[in-house]
Amino acid sequence: MSERDDMPREATRNAYGRALVELGQQRDDVVVLDADLSGSTRTGWFGERFPERFFNMGIAEQNMMNVAAGLAMTGKIPFASTFAIFASGRAWEQVRNTVAYPALPVRICASHAGITVGADGASHQALEDISLMRVIPNMTVIVPKDGPETERVLPAVVDLDGPVYVRLGRAEVPVLSGDDESFTVGRAQVLRDGEDVALIACGVMLEPALEAADQLEERGIGARVINLSTIKPLDGETLNAAAEECGAVVTAEEHSVIGGMGSAVTEFLAEVCPVPLRRVGIMDRFGQSGQPDQLLGEYGLDARTIREAALLAVAGKQG
């Protein structure tokens, strides 16, 4: 039994809803838009408190992004929310051309990302959204690790220049944050030190990464665990130090290995500090309907897979 089994758990979408209300109390320039999913995204909590600053755009995600851009041009700070599959896919052109091209301060906070959407199945399981968002110039991409970090992300991005994409989840995740933590855009966080291999993870994959580190320690292998909550811009200093000092890297994400966080780390390290590296994620597959825990196991998003990837990476140092 892991020591994290007794930790409180919460979905990051719930923390987002609370943080929006808090931000609305502090800032009257914050407005919220939703595409007829305010109950699921938790933006409805803001709407109940500040109805004059809440806009339900209906099932019209493309129009929602255009309206958010217009509000940003008038001096408002719009938070636009829907499911990740629609924010990153259906509205991609509007995000690119209307929001990001003029570098408008629209905060796209997308819920129900990844395989842990569960029973909704492949059509609603966004496994490509990090790739689609990080390729857009001017875009900041953030994947909070838990509820408390989500609550710290919102005040950190409210005055940030340009658009922001925040990836949120439906499933509950353990609260890994300490009371004294802070969040800075573009800064990675070392959760556990180690000198033999670096396990770099984001979102729901932090918990299995820490479990894998426990298992590796039993084999005499010290694993450094890094929370890479900001995918763009990358914290090059922390990543370079991890590669240089550990000599082997494993990335873990609830996203396709094509174009996601693992790709971003691989691209960076290939130029500055090439080391043996393995990526754990969705291996070029669509999702399917099922319970979140079952799907994580089916797609190899677990501590065992991370551990085995780490062993291969460490062995690569000796080859």
Digit-coded pLDDT (tens) for 93-113: 999 999 999 999 999 999 999
Residue 48 belongs to domain spanning: 7-174
Q: Among all residues, which ones are annotated catalytic?
A: 61
pTM confidence score: 0.96
pLDDT of 318 over the 80 cut: no
Mean per-residue pLDDT, 1-15: 79
pLDDT of 6 over the 80 cut: no
Residue 182 covered by a domain? no
Residue 180: the pLDDT is 87
In a shared domain, residues 121 and 208: no
> How many structural domains does the chain have?
2
Q: Is 77 helix (H, G, I), strand (E, B) or coil?
A: strand
Residue 2: the pLDDT is 53
Average pLDDT, the chain: 96
In a shared domain, residues 100 and 241: no
In a shared domain, residues 231 and 138: no
Q: What is the pLDDT of residues 50-89, one digit of tens each?
A: 999 999 999 999 999 999 999 999 999 999 999 999 999 9
pLDDT of 3 over the 70 cut: no
Mean per-residue pLDDT, 294-299: 96
3-state secondary structure 164-186: EEEECCCCEEECCCCCCCCCCCC
Residue 75 covered by a domain? yes
Residue 281 covered by a domain? yes
Q: What is the pLDDT of residues 210-231, one digit of tens each?
A: 999 999 999 999 999 999 999 9
In a shared domain, residues 43 and 151: yes
Report how far residue 257's alpha carbon sits from residue 247's, in angstroms, rounded to the nearest whole number: 21
pLDDT of 283 over the 70 cut: yes
Residue 1: the pLDDT is 43
Q: What is the pLDDT of residues 124-149, one digit of tens each?
A: 999 999 999 999 999 999 999 999 99
In a shared domain, residues 96 and 212: no
Residue 299 covered by a domain? yes
Hey, which bits of the chain come out as E strands? 9-11, 30-34, 54-56, 77-81, 107-110, 140-142, 164-167, 172-174, 189-192, 197-201, 223-227, 230-232, 249-256, 277-282
In a shared domain, residues 169 and 208: no
Residue 183 covered by a domain? no
Report how far residue 163's alpha carbon sits from residue 69's, in angstroms, rounded to the nearest whole number: 10
Helix (H) or strand (E) holding 112: none
Residue 294: the pLDDT is 95
pLDDT of 319 over the 70 cut: no
Report how far residue 285's alpha carbon sits from residue 299's, in angstroms, rounded to the nearest whole number: 9
Residue 70 covered by a domain? yes
In a shared domain, residues 34 and 159: yes
Residues in the chain: 319
- Yes or no: say if 253 and 280 are a contact pair by the CB < 8 Å rule: yes
In a shared domain, residues 169 and 110: yes
Q: Phi and psi dihedrals of 250, rounded to 5?
A: -130, 135
DSSP-assigned states of every residue in 241-293: HHHHHHS-EEEEEEEESSSSHHHHHHHHHHHH----EEEEEE-S----SS-HH
- For 20, 50, 153, 204, the CA distances from 23, given in Å and listed in that order, are 5, 11, 11, 25
Of all residues in the chain, the percent with pLDDT exceeding 70 is 98
Residue 215 covered by a domain? yes
Residue 181 covered by a domain? no
Structure tokens of 87? 């924010």
Q: Phi and psi dihedrals of 110, rounded to 5?
A: -105, 125
Among 150, 174, 198, which residue terminates a domain? 174
